[in-house]
């Protein structure tokens, strides 16, 4: 069992029969009142974020979350197929709703981590930084830096990313998959 002062960011617990992850935690003590924990918690099934205050008498069951590495195989018509990392025969599919924004950065043969609760996959977690090939990039116009020093390009997964002007078609760039932002150029096209 978890008590209210153990609800630190990253802790996953059961509230009303559903798993929640603590995203923010503040311990407050008002004059002559009992201390409370102000939290922001994320429902791992629906994705909704709630602000909740917990008292010293509140206790929670720790969520039995299983993390498992799986390999992404391919996507077709809104269905995304995966297999266990060490057993390609055991395949399963997830919908775009289950995957969320991670669908923009899924590349075949990428190892991702799943969060499982009661035998159901809640979501997937990509590596934080991944390399992608630029498949479409408008040319950088000389003298265009007065307005903006960035442009929008398309990567191999079809996602559009804002990058500096010096990125060209064929370059390989590193992207932060959590924020969707450009990090650095890994390989320059020759």
What's the whole-number average pLDDT of the chain?
87
Which residue segments constitute the domains of the chain, with CATH numbers given? 2-62 (2.30.30.30), 65-125 (2.40.50.140), 129-187 (2.40.50.140)
pLDDT at 169: 92
* CA angle 50–122–179, rounded 5-degree value: 70
Q: DSSP letters along 38-84, please?
A: EEEEEETTT--EEEEEE-TT-EEEEP-EEEEEEEEEEEETTEEEEEE
Q: What is the mean pLDDT of residues 20-30?
A: 87
Q: What sign does the CA torsion over 100, 102, 108, 112 have?
A: negative
Q: What is the mean pLDDT of residues 64-76?
A: 91
What confidence tier does 56 reach under pLDDT thresholds 50, 70, 90?
Answer: confident
| pTM beyond cutoff 0.85 | no
pLDDT at 172: 94
CA atoms within 13 A on the CB side of 60: 24
Ramachandran assignment for 129, one of left (phi > 0), alpha (psi -120 to 50 degrees), beta (any other): beta
pLDDT at 47: 78
pLDDT at 145: 56
pLDDT at 141: 67
pLDDT digits (tens, 9 = 90+) for 99-158: 888 889 999 999 999 988 888 888 888 999 999 999 999 887 666 555 568 899 999 999
């Amino acid at each position: 069992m978890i008590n209210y002062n153990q609800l630190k960011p990253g802790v996953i617990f059961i509230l009303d029969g559903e798993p929640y992850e603590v995203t923010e935690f503040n311990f407050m003590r008002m004059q002559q009142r009992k201390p409370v924990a102000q939290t922001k918690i994320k429902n791992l099934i629906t994705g909704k974020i709630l602000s909740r205050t917990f008292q010293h008498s509140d206790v929670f069951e720790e969520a039995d979350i299983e993390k498992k590495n799986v390999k992404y195989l391919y996507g077709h018509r809104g269905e995304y197929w995966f297999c266990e990392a060490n057993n390609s025969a055991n395949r399963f599919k997830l919908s775009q709703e289950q995957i969320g924004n991670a669908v923009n950065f899924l590349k075949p043969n990428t190892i991702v981590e799943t969060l499982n609760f009661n035998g159901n996959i809640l979501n997937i977690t990509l590596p934080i930084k991944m390399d992608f090939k630029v498949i479409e990039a408008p040319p950088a116009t000389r003298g265009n830096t007065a307005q903006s020093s960035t442009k929008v390009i398309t990567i191999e997964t079809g996602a559009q990313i804002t990058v500096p002007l010096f990125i060209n078609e064929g370059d390989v760039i590193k992207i932060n998959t959590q924020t969707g932002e450009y990090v650095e150029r890994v390989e320059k096209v020759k």
